[in-house]
Structure 1
Amino acid sequence: MIVRDFNELKKTDKHVADARWTSTRMLLADDGMGFSFHITVLEAGSEHTFHYKHHFESVYCMKGSGSITDLATGETHAIRPGVMYALNLNDKHVLRADEELHMACCFNPPVTGTEVHRADGSYAPAGEAA
């Protein structure tokens, strides 16, 4: 059994920050679960372009409001508490936080915790250096 405290993890190297967002990695690849689980907070007024070419991601909004735009179709969806989206086609997207967004995120394959976003908004494939 794995039991972790979000508030304690925020004081460790499992709490990472990038351009106007933070992510607390609750589960990572070395936990052996087959997915990683993160709590991510995006700053109000921020906009992020991501393209997880090598990962599937599902995201559940716990707090805040914003939108997600699928860049392939131009379709935009509202994000608010209770809304989940899944990037089942490695969808390139823009995520906007109108209010501070608190999101629960799962990645498959799991991330290691050392990834950084590449210029195109992706993470490196599993086993390849960031």
Structure 2
Amino acid sequence: MIVRTLEEIEGTRREIFAENNNWVSKRFILAEDNMGFSFNETIIYANTETLIWYKNHLEAVYCVEGEGEIETTEDSIVYPIKPGTLYALDKHDRHYLRAYGKDVRLLCVFNPPLVGDEDHDEEGAYVKSGK
């Protein structure tokens, strides 16, 4: 059985801060845990915009705090995000993620699972940071 607390993750290699300072990801379950998915709590900092394009992953996201929006780049459709909203990037949808007013707290599941130190590249895809 795997049991982890937020306190155990903070300040370790499982807490990843974006190079652009837009978010922090606290990675509870990683590929090394052999669960077939990864699970993160991600905080998107207030008044930021992040381009995301998970070409190599599928992701489901559930908002538990804060408000913002996602905007798809292909068709410019805007979807509001607030507590109780789930969105799934089932087609590797390229999008902007924006947080308004205060931080947005998201619970995220990735398939295939994250290794642990991924950050977004210039296209918005996750790549291993090499740190």
Q: TM-score normalised to the size of structure 1?
A: 0.93
Using the alignment, how far apart are the partners of 2:92 and 2:47 within structure 1? 25
Structure showing the higher strand proportion among its residues: 2
CA deviation after TM superposition for structure 1 residue 11, in Å: 2.5
3-state secondary structure, aligned to 2:126: coil
1:22 corresponds to which of 21, 24, 43: 24
Using the alignment, how far apart are the partners of 1:31 and 1:110 within structure 2? 9
Amino acid of the structure 2 residue aligned with 1:101: V
CA RMSD in angstroms comes to 1.4
Which runs of 4 or more aligned residues in structure 1 lie more than 6 Å from their structure 2 counterparts after TM superposition?
none
CA deviation after TM superposition for structure 1 residue 78, in Å: 0.6
Using the alignment, how far apart are the partners of 1:73 and 1:58 within structure 2? 20
Percent same amino acid at aligned positions?
A: 40
Using the alignment, how far apart are the partners of 1:31 and 1:103 within structure 2? 21
| Contact 2:14–2:117 (Cα < 8 Å) also in 1 | no
Match of 2:79 in 1: 77
Unaligned runs of 5+ in 2: none
Unaligned runs of 5+ in 1: none
